[in-house]
Amino acid sequence: MLSHGKVRVGVLGLSFKGDTDDLRESPMVDVVESLLGKGYQIRIYDRNVRLAKLFGANKKFINEKIPHISNLIVEIPEELLRESDLLIIGNNAPGFKDIVKASAGRHKIVDFVRIVKELTESDDNYEGLCW
């Protein structure tokens, strides 16, 4: 991502898959942690991750990995898009495909899950990763 020259990164999907709030198996937690350590400004949108509702091992895990996560989470995707130059797609939760299609051309996109099959790496603003 350093090659993209973007420092404001939006993450769509923090949990390990759509429709869950389980963060313990999510590679995106490590990605966010690493990006924060490199000085990136991070915003996260995941409608299933509500910090007030996390409990037990899941809450303990995220508080140890990213203790200030509450400052990174946004409540609506429009806020994420407004505050980001580059989007990372971390899971295929319902609604993310529409968000990605709407932001194509306005944001650089790094897609971990190949959420929009119509976009290809030949598109200037789109890059697939891990698929």
DSSP for residue 78? H
SS3 97: helix
Q: Which two tokens stand for residue 124?
A: 């200037």
What's the pLDDT tens digit per position in 9-19? 999 998 877 77
Beta carbons within 10 angstroms of residue 29's beta carbon: 21
Which of 14-23, 36-45, 85-94, 118-127 shows the lowest mean pLDDT across its residues? 118-127
Give me the mean pLDDT over the 74-80 stretch: 92
Domain count across the chain: 1
SS3 45: strand
Measure the CA–CA gap between 117 and 93, rounded to whole angstroms: 15
CATH of the domain at 104: 3.40.50.720
Measure the CA–CA gap between 18 and 88, rounded to whole angstroms: 14
Give me the mean pLDDT over the 95-114 stretch: 88
* Domain housing 43: 2-128
Which of 37-46, 82-91, 94-103 shows the lowest mean pLDDT across its residues? 94-103
